[in-house]
Homo-oligomer: A and B are copies of this chain.
Amino acid sequence: MVGVRIMTILKTAVLGASGYTGAESVRLILGHPNLDLVALTAHRHAGKAYGEVYPHLAHQGLPDLQNWQDVNWDKIDAVFACLPHGASEETIAELANKDIKIIDLSADFRLRNAQVYQKTYGRKHTSPKLLESAVYGLTEYARGELKSASLVACPGCYPTASLLAILPSLDLIKTESIIIDAKSGVSGAGRKENSALIYPEIAEGAHAYAVGNHRHGPEIDEKLSAIAGQNITVSFTPHLIPMNRGMIATVNVELNEGVAVKDLRSAYEKRYQNEAFVHVEAEGVVPHTRHVRASNQCRIGIFAGRNPRRAVIISVIDNLTKGSSGQAVQNLNVMMGWDETLGLNLVPIFP
Contacts and interface: CB of A to CB of B under 8 A. Distances in A.
A262 to B, nearest CB: 14
A192 B199 contact: no
A208 B249 CA distance: 10
5 contacts: A23-B350, A56-B349, A60-B347, A209-B286, A241-B241
Interface string A47-71: 0000000111111100000000000
Given A207-B287, A207-B289, A208-B301, 8 more contacts: A183-B239, A192-B198, A201-B351, A205-B289, A234-B306, A235-B306, A293-B349, A294-B349
Contacts of A202: 198-199
Interface stretch (A75-83, A107-115, A143-151, A210-218): A210-218
A165 interface: no
Contacts of A212: 303-306, 312
7 smallest A-B Cβ distances: which pairs? A205-B290, A200-B351, A181-B181, A207-B288, A56-B348, A56-B350, A199-B202
A300 to B, nearest CB: 12
Given A207-B287, A244-B204, A246-B204, A293 B197 contact: no
Contacts of A181: 179, 181, 237, 250, 252
A119 to B, nearest CB: 13
Contacts of A56: 290-293, 347-350
Contacts of A191: 195, 198, 200-201
A57 B285 CA distance: 14
Contacts of A244: 199-200, 203-204, 351
B243 A204 contact: yes
Interface in A228-253: 233-237, 239, 241-246, 248, 250, 252
Contact of A217 (B241, B306, B314, B347): B306
A186 B199 contact: yes
Given A208-B314, A212-B312, A351-B244, A59 B297 contact: yes
Nearest to A287: B207
A314 to B, nearest CB: 6
Contacts of A250: 181, 208, 237, 239
Contacts of A287: 207
A194 interface: yes
Contact of A200 (B20, B55, B176, B279): B20
A206 B244 CA distance: 11
Contacts of A290: 56, 201, 204-205, 207
A252 B54 CA distance: 27
A248 to B, nearest CB: 5
A351 B295 CA distance: 13
B199 A54 contact: no
A310 interface: yes
A217 to B, nearest CB: 5
B348 A241 contact: no
A350 B305 CA distance: 35
Given A206-B289, A235-B252, A198 B200 contact: no
